[in-house]
Every structure is written in C-alpha cells, then in structure tokens.
C-alpha cells in the first residue's frame, strides 16, 4: 500500500526517519541561508528576539527536551535569558513574567493541545509568540505571530527523531543569527559547524551494527535502564530515556550525574545498564566519576563519549563536532539503540502502545 511505498526498503518509519537526519540538517542549513550564503531569519522574528528581555519556551515531550538544549544556544550565544516550561504545567505554575516576554512554542505537529492552551492564554495577555513547527498551516503556526519551519518532512513514527534534531538545528540558527544581529561575535561559522555535524550524523547512521550490538548487550532482557549526563548531556539523556521507554517499554530515566547520590543511586543493582554521555569537556571528569560510583555498585555502564574526550573504557566514541552542537550527534546512537532494543523485544516500533503521534486533548 501507499505507506509501504513511502517507507521504501525500510522495515519501519522510525529507522527511515533516523537515517534522514543528515539530509534534513543540510536542507535546514540551506533553507535558512540568504543569497549571500549567510544564515538568515525573518526580520520580524529577529526584531521580536531583540526586543525580548526574556524568552519563555513552552513545549511537550521530545519538543520540551529540544527546548532545554535550545535555552543553552540562546543564553550562551544571544545572551537573552530563557526559561523552559512543560506546557501542561505552565498555567498552574505561571512564572512571574518579565516586562517584555517572548514566547516560543516548539511543536513538531503544531497541534498539541497542551501547548495550544498556553498559546491561547499568552495571546489573551497580549504577548507575542513564535512557533517552531514541522507543519506549515498547523494550529500553533496559524495562531502565533511568527513561525519557523523545521523542513524535516513528514514524521510518521510516533517516537520523534528527525524532528528533534531539526528543532535543535533551527534553535541554533535562531540563536546565532540573533547574536550576530546584536554585534556578538561567535568565533565560529555555524554553517560550517552544522555541515560537520551532518557528516558526523552520517557516520553514526552507517554504524547501525554497533548500535544493534549495544542494544543486544545492554538491553535484551533488562527491566530498567538509566541515562546519566551533566550539562547538555543531561538533556540528551532525558531524550534518550524517553525514546527507550516509548518504544521498548523498558523503564528508562535520565538523571543529572550530580543528582545520582541524592537518591537514584539506590536503584542500581547488579547489571543495571547505565548509559553515560561524555561530550562536554568541562564535565568529563565528573561524569566519569559518576560512572565509577555506579560501577562500584554493580551497574553495567555504557559510556558514549566524543572524540577528544574518550578513554579506553568507552563503549562508543562519537565523531568530533563543535561541543555546543554535540546533542545533535549524541542523540543518534540513543535513537538507534532504542530502535534495536524495541525490535529485539518484539515491540511495535512505529506505533507503540498507549501513545499517539499528536495529542489533541489536554
């Protein structure tokens, strides 16, 4: 049928969509360039970014995890304070808003009811909103003042993959262009750095056998799995855990390395898989300290590091990219490991139980 044709030779949409990521990233870089090959964002959006004294990112699920990473781009590069909120909680715990807030809604589908409820609320208060979405003409796009498109192509698998990396890419471009418009010198060329990321993604997508081995080695029979990281690696770990639980039904949680000792370490048993991310130089030693702590309690650690930071104990070394952009690369093995874990456990990869691609009820 038609869906088979769209899947081509792929057994699942999820695998196809994982593989599309290098291409999507190149397409985004192209789409956001002007005739002079410089990164470019619509003037109205840039003006709104520059007027804002604080940005409020609102989203759900994977898009929320993209927001956590996006906050780092915007704060570090464009020097605008950012808060990131889960949409369903926003109205109960409405933060005291700054004088000139700008709201950014991140939503693959542009239809998520929880996010839309917040959009309606902030529009009523008279604030400006920007939607970052994969779907032109979607509800959140129509109802916001501005839209930035992901250009990722339709995402069919319930577990989001290419939309997440597309969201990170668009957020990085938004942050970098805003920084430049403020006269802030970033000391790197984002177009070039994203091209390096796309190549690194390709290397990872070509290394599926290793990912399958890791899934078999660590996740074939386990009941649970923990992801640890510090700084942005923590946020990527949250996304890795979400992927794994969504499609393999393994109880998976992401934790900040430093928080382990405050509770979670009590859960470590013999052979508990702990996937540790080490892509950030300033926390490399401390995350490795965490790995030693869990290993001493019987855990089965799987360290995924970035080239330049690796040691002999690492299970997988990612190709080197600009450290700030490491999440775009580090998430790919996590997506693939989740995919193979779900496959080995005979789960319905593209349509996991109890989940919907777009949730239009609050």
Contact segment (CB under 6 A) with ligand G6P among 120-128, 261-269, 284-292, 350-358 equals 350-358
Per CB under 6 A, 107 contacts ligand G6P: yes
Considering the complex, state which of residue 133 and residue 180 has its C-beta at the smaller distance from ligand G6P. Answer: 133
Q: Residue from 112, 139, 147, 280 that binds ligand G6P (CB under 6 A)? A: 112
End-to-end CA distance of the chain: 33
Question: Beta-strand (E) ranges in 48-94?
Answer: 54-59, 82-86
Rg of the Cα trace of the chain?
Answer: 20
Contact segment (CB under 6 A) with ligand G6P among 47-55, 118-126, 144-152, 354-362 equals 354-362
Active site residue 357: yes
Contact segment (CB under 6 A) with ligand G6P among 1-9, 108-116, 262-270, 328-336 equals 108-116
Per CB under 6 A, 156 contacts ligand G6P: no
Per CB under 6 A, 131 contacts ligand G6P: no
Per CB under 6 A, 266 contacts ligand G6P: no
Considering the complex, state which of residue 264 and residue 358 has its C-beta at the smaller distance from ligand G6P. Answer: 358
H-run or E-run covering 66: helix 61-73
- The Cα 251–Cα 338 span in angstroms is 12
Min separation Cβ 145 and ligand G6P, Å: 18
Per CB under 6 A, 63 contacts ligand G6P: yes
Structure tokens at 55: 């940005």
Min separation Cβ 291 and ligand G6P, Å: 29
Q: Residue from 160, 165, 172, 279 that binds ligand G6P (CB under 6 A)? A: 160
Contact 18, 163 (CB under 8 A): no
Per CB under 6 A, 115 contacts ligand G6P: yes
74-111 in b/e form (b: 16+ CB < 10 A) is beebbebebbbbbbbebeeeeeeeeeebbbbbbbbbbb
Per CB under 6 A, 60 contacts ligand G6P: yes
- The Cα 254–Cα 3 span in angstroms is 34
- Among candidate residues 7, 123, 351, 357, the one labeled active-site is 357
Contact segment (CB under 6 A) with ligand G6P among 58-66, 75-83, 263-271, 288-296 equals 58-66
Per CB under 6 A, 86 contacts ligand G6P: no
DSSP 265-303: GGG--TT-EEEEEE--GGGHHHHHHHHHHHHHTT-EEEE
Contact segment (CB under 6 A) with ligand G6P among 109-117, 183-191, 208-216, 250-258 equals 109-117
Min separation Cβ 186 and ligand G6P, Å: 28
For residue 128, the Cα-to-chain-centroid distance in whole angstroms is: 24
- The Cα 176–Cα 38 span in angstroms is 11
Per CB under 6 A, 352 contacts ligand G6P: no
Considering the complex, state which of residue 18 and residue 278 has its C-beta at the smaller distance from ligand G6P. Answer: 18
- The Cα 177–Cα 171 span in angstroms is 10
Q: In what order do the strands lie in the sheet with 146-149?
A: 82-86, 54-59, 101-107, 128-133, 146-149
Considering the complex, state which of residue 29 and residue 63 has its C-beta at the smaller distance from ligand G6P. Answer: 63
Structure tokens at 263: 């509770």
Catalytically active residues are 357
Task: List residues binding ligand G6P (CB under 6 A).
Answer: 60-63, 107-109, 112, 115, 158, 160, 355-359
């Amino acid at each position: 049928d038609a869906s088979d044709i769209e899947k081509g030779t792929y057994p699942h949409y999820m695998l196809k969509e994982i593989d599309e990521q290098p291409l999507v990233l190149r397409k985004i870089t192209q789409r956001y360039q002007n005739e002079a090959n410089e990164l470019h964002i619509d003037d109205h959006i840039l003006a709104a970014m520059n007027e804002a004294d604080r940005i409020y990112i609102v989203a759900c699920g994977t898009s929320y995890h993209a927001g956590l990473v996006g906050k780092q781009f915007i704060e570090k590069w464009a020097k605008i304070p950012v808060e990131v909120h889960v949409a369903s909680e926003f109205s109960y715990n409405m933060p005291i808003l700054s004088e000139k807030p700008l709201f950014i809604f991140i939503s693959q589908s542009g239809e998520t009811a929880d996010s839309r409820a917040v959009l309606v609320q902030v529009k009523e208060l008279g604030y400006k909103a920007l939607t970052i979405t994969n779907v032109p003409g979607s509800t959140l796009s129509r109802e916001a003042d501005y839209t930035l498109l992901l250009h990722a192509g339709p995402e069919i698998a319930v577990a989001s993959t290419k939309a997440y990396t597309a969201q990170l890419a668009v957020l990085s471009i938004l942050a970098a262009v805003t920084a430049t418009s403020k006269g802030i010198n970033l000391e790197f060329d984002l177009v070039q750095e994203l091209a390096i990321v796309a190549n690194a993604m390709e290397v990872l997508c070509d290394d599926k056998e290793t990912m399958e081995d890791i899934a078999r080695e660590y996740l074939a029979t386990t009941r649970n799995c923990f992801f640890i990281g510090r700084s942005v690696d923590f946020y990527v770990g949250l996304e890795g855990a979400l992927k794994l639980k969504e499609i393999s039904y393994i109880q998976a949680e992401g934790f900040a390395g430093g928080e382990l000792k405050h509770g979670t370490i009590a859960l470590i048993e013999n052979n508990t898989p702990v996937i540790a991310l080490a892509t950030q130089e300033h926390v490399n030693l401390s995350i490795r300290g965490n790995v030693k702590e869990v290993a001493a309690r019987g855990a089965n650690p799987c360290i995924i590091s970035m080239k330049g930071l690796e040691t002999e104990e690492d299970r997988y070394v990612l190709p080197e990219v600009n450290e700030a952009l490491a999440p775009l690369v580090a998430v790919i093995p996590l997506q693939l490991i989740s995919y193979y874990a779900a496959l080995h456990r005979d789960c319905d990869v593209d349509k996991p139980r109890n989940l919907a691609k777009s949730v239009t009820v609050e």
